[in-house]
Structure 1
Amino acid sequence: MNILKELENRLKKDSNDPAGKIFHRLVGALCCDGEFKLTEIYELNYDDFELSLEIIKHWRLDRYTKTKERLQKLVSVSTN
């Protein structure tokens, strides 16, 4: 599955889920050049931990493409 689609599904899953909040902070930090404590991803279960690493990897590869804009939209949609 596309990493962004998987992230989108994960963020929509449960707004009170602690893992979802970690993903939200991670994506917000990546998109807005903010700070994020990497130790937070160690609190995630294995599948979510792997997803967070994939998000970071894909963000690094795609940071100058439309992907960054789509991630920003995901963060803003999940807070509304």
Structure 2
Amino acid sequence: MRAIKKVRLVIEQNPQEQTAQIFSRLILSLVEEVDFSMKDLYLLDSPDFQLAMDILQEWRLDRYYMGKAKTFDMAQQALSLAKSKK
């Protein structure tokens, strides 16, 4: 399974969890080509950190991968949900 799909599953399963929020911000920063705070990656445990590295590698190699649209939507929903709960 590609890293982008793994991240989508993490976000779908618990969109308010810190890991899902970090992945959501990472995905949105890649889509929107805006800055992402690298220090957030250090909040991830080792397997999730490696998954973030895999995302960066996949994104660089295949920017127009069709599954990213679904992950972008899920990431945006997760961040909106978290903001509405605050």
Q: Normalising by structure 2, what TM-score? A: 0.77
Q: What residue identity is the alignment partner of 2:38?
A: L
Give the percent of matched residue pairs that are identical in Structure 1 and Structure 2: 26
State the Cα distance separating 1:77 from its structure 2 match: 4.5
Given that residues 59 and 68 in structure 1 are in contact (C-alpha distance below 8 angstroms), is that contact kept between their aligned partners in structure 2? no
Give the superposed CA RMSD.
1.8
Extract structure 1 runs of 4+ deviating beyond 2 A. Answer: 64-80
Structure 2 match to 1:52: 52
CA deviations on 1:28-47 (whole Å, 9 max, x unpaired) are: 00000111011110110011
Distance 1:45 1:62 in 2: 25
**Alignment partner, residue 40 of structure 2:** 40
1:6 maps to 6
The 1:59/1:70 distance shift into structure 2, 3 A limit, reads: farther
TM-score (norm 1): 0.82
Question: With CA pairs under 8 Å and 6+ residues apart, which has the higher RCO, 1 or 2?
Answer: 2
Q: Equivalent residue of 1:20, what SS? A: helix
Deviation for aligned residue 1:65: 4.5
- Uncovered stretches (5+) of structure 2, i.e. residues with no partner: 82-86
Residues 24 and 76 in structure 2, CA contact (< 8 A), matched pair in contact too: no
